[in-house]
């Protein structure tokens, strides 16, 4: 009983210490880290039962193996039918114990926690290091590029806004649809037979490698933008898309009018709606 009391104390202290050691997440990687399934606590009754079944199983197997040899060497005069009866009974008892032992230890498939898509598809690996206490701007890159294209400015608006907000101390994350390279190629940004590379996006938009996130083929950048806003407390999106199709899925993100800043051009100046830039962005 004393041993069981000590075992219980150690186990409960372990749980208590694990709670103390837990800390608030600092980075996006901490917050979105896959949660390991809770390991069940020690069930002493089940452990004792399994141990007894294991010992009994081993003992019966030993008896089944030794009985014929004992009869042949030590008691050859004993009635063979009695030996066969005892041997059959031991085998039947062993089968019963073996089945109970198997039932007491069900096989479970190993489960691996799924990594969040924001981290799993991050080719540059910078998303997990984003600090939750840093002010961050999430760009809908393809959307703002098309806005610039429609106004005869191509990549210029996106590059200028990124430069200004970066100067204001914001961390930049720019999401592009998977077809951004083909779109740029069709618009003459580079030759169609030129190999696609991250450096192209850096040069064209004035971005850094750890600011660019090209979403996987078949996925929409919209979801990645909204997921980032959901998990980064001090952030807003720069986009002219209202994401109305996602209103039901992200009600807390799309609450009010501060979560997104639209882009407009007025009097030869690029402006962000709902955000006053420290320095105006004037077009030459």
CATH of the domain at 189: 3.40.50.11980
Q: Do 95 and 126 share a domain, yes or no? A: no
The verdict on 132 and 238 lying in the same domain is yes
Mean of pLDDT values over 227-248: 96
Task: Give yes or no: residues 186 and 251 share one domain.
Answer: yes
Contact 221, 140 (CB under 8 A): yes
User: What pLDDT does residue 90 have?
Assistant: 75
On whether both 249 and 126 belong to a single domain, the answer is: yes
Residues 153, 125 share a domain? yes
Q: Kindly indicate the confidence band of residue 22, based on its pLDDT and cuts at 50, 70 and 90.
A: low
Tens digits of residue pLDDT in 170-199? 999 999 999 999 999 999 998 888 899 999
Both 88 and 182 in one domain: the answer is no
Range of the domain at 77: 2-34+41-104
pLDDT tens-place string over residues 207-237: 999 999 999 999 999 999 999 999 999 999 9
Q: For residue 59, what pLDDT is reported?
A: 80
153, 70: one domain:
no
Mean pLDDT of 157-181: 97
The mean pLDDT of 138-152, rounded to a whole number, is 97
Mark whether 125 and 243 lie in a shared domain.
yes
State mean pLDDT over 248-264.
Answer: 95
pLDDT over 90 (residue 71): no
**pLDDT at residue 2 in the model:** 42
pLDDT score at 3: 40
Mean pLDDT across the chain: 84
pLDDT confidence of 44, banded at 50, 70, 90? low
Q: Are residues 25 and 88 in the same domain?
A: yes
Average pLDDT, integer, range 113-137: 94
pLDDT band at 20 (very low <50, low <70, confident <90, very high): very low
Domain match, 126 and 46 both: no
Residue 171 lies in a domain: yes
Per the structure, the count of domains in the chain is 2
34 Cβ partners below 8 Å, 6+ apart? 112, 113, 114, 115, 116
Are 171 and 278 within one domain?
Answer: yes
In a shared domain, residues 21 and 152: no
CA distance 12 to 18: 10
């Amino acid at each position: 009983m004393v041993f069981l009391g000590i075992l219980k104390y150690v186990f409960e202290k372990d749980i208590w210490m694990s709670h103390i050691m837990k800390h608030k997440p600092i980075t996006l990687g901490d917050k979105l880290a896959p949660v390991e399934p809770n390991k069940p606590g020690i069930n002493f009754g089940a452990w004792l039962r399994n141990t007894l079944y294991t010992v009994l199983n081993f003992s019966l197997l030993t008896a089944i193996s030794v009985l014929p040899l004992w009869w042949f060497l030590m008691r050859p005069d004993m009635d063979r039918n009695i030996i066969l009866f005892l041997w059959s009974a031991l085998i039947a008892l062993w089968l019963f114990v073996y089945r109970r032992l198997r039932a007491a230890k069900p096989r479970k498939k190993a489960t691996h926690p799924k990594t969040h898509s924001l981290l799993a598809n991050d080719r540059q690996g910078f998303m997990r290091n984003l600090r939750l206490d840093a002010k961050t701007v999430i760009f809908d890159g393809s959307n703002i590029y098309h806005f610039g294209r429609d106004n005869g400015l191509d990549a210029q608006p996106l590059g200028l806004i990124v430069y200004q907000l970066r100067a204001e101390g914001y961390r930049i994350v720019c999401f592009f649809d998977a077809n951004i390279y083909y779109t740029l190629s069709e618009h003459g940004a580079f030759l169609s037979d030129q190999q696609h590379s991250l450096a192209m996006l850096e040069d064209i938009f004035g971005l850094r490698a750890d600011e660019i996130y090209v979403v996987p083929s078949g996925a929409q950048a919209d979801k990645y933008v909204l997921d980032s806003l959901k998990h980064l407390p001090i952030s807003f999106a720069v986009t002219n898309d209202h994401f109305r199709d996602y209103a039901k899925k992200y009600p807390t993100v799309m609450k009010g009018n501060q979560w997104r800043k639209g882009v407009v051009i007025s009097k030869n100046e690029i402006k962000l709606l709902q955000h006053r830039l420290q320095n105006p962005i004037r077009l030459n």
